[in-house]
């Protein structure tokens, strides 16, 4: 019987890659996203189930998880970034609501089902969980919060046999980073600071998520794994 996983933000960018990698590995994938437009634009395998989900809404989140009879994994990839606008407090609060509170909301909603299956959670932190981002204070704060939330939940839910880890992507080829990749000076600065001298691929993050959800990582919890080509190491 296939194991079931919910991937929030699961139709684009890193979330879309995670959905595809897990589907190819034999998981029953539910990719949840914010709108029908996002669903219509998804180009993943046809066996991936697509659902609309607003992670800032109790009604939406409880509605999705309340329909499930079993769940083995949750991957929280839903997130937003508003470069240059996050010093506006309304924008700041919106980013925190999606990236941090939305992650917690989904974890809490999934917990009873994951306890039944001894399942696992993988959250999405960031290299900005470690480094500050002057143009994105809300994103930086939210991702720092995700890293610490991951550790807190791992400690709390270990008695339920739920493992909780996070990935912390660096500079990955996604729609979110397209502008930076297309600006030679910005891209060169990033690559010169990255030991592996290239942008990462979203599928490379997906492969780590797949391992963290698997039984091969059965003694791994409370950890935040960089996927950054060595950026954090120097």
pLDDT per residue as tens, the chain (234 positions): 899 999 999 999 999 999 999 999 999 999 999 999 999 999 899 999 999 999 999 999 999 999 999 999 999 999 999 999 999 999 999 999 999 999 999 999 999 999 999 999 999 999 999 999 999 999 999 999 999 999 999 999 999 999 999 999 999 999 888 888 999 899 999 999 999 999 999 999 999 999 999 999 999 999 999 999 999 998
Phi, psi of 45 (to 5 degrees): -55, 145
* Whether the model pTM is above 0.85: yes
Residues that are catalytic: 139
4-175+202-219, what's its fold? Rossmann fold (3.40.50)
């Amino acid at each position: 019987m296939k194991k079931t996983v919910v991937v929030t933000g699961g139709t684009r960018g890193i979330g879309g890659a995670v959905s595809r990698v897990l589907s190819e590995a034999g998981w029953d994938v539910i990719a949840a996203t914010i709108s029908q437009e996002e669903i219509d634009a998804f180009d993943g395998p046809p066996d991936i189930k697509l659902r609309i989900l607003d992670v800032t809404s109790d009604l939406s989140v409880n509605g999705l998880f309340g329909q499930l009879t079993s769940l083995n994994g949750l991957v929280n990839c839903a997130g937003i970034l508003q470069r240059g606008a996050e010093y506006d407090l309304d924008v700041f609060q919106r980013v925190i609501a999606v990236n941090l509170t939305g992650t917690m909301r989904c974890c809490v909603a999934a917990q009873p089902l994951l306890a039944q299956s001894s399942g696992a959670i993988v959250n999405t932190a960031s290299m900005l969980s470690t480094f500050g981002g002057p143009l994105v204070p809300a994103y930086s704060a939210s991702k720092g919060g995700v890293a610490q939330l991951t550790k807190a939940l791992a400690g709390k839910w270990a008695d339920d046999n739920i493992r909780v880890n996070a990935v912390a992507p660096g500079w990955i080829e996604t729609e979110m980073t397209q502008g930076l990749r297309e600006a030679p000076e910005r891209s060169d600065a990033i690559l010169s600071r990255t030991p592996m001298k290239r942008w990462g691929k979203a599928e490379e993050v997906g492969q780590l998520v797949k391992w963290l959800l698997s039984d091969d990582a059965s003694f791994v919890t409370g950890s935040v794994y960089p996927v950054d080509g060595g950026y954090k190491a120097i």
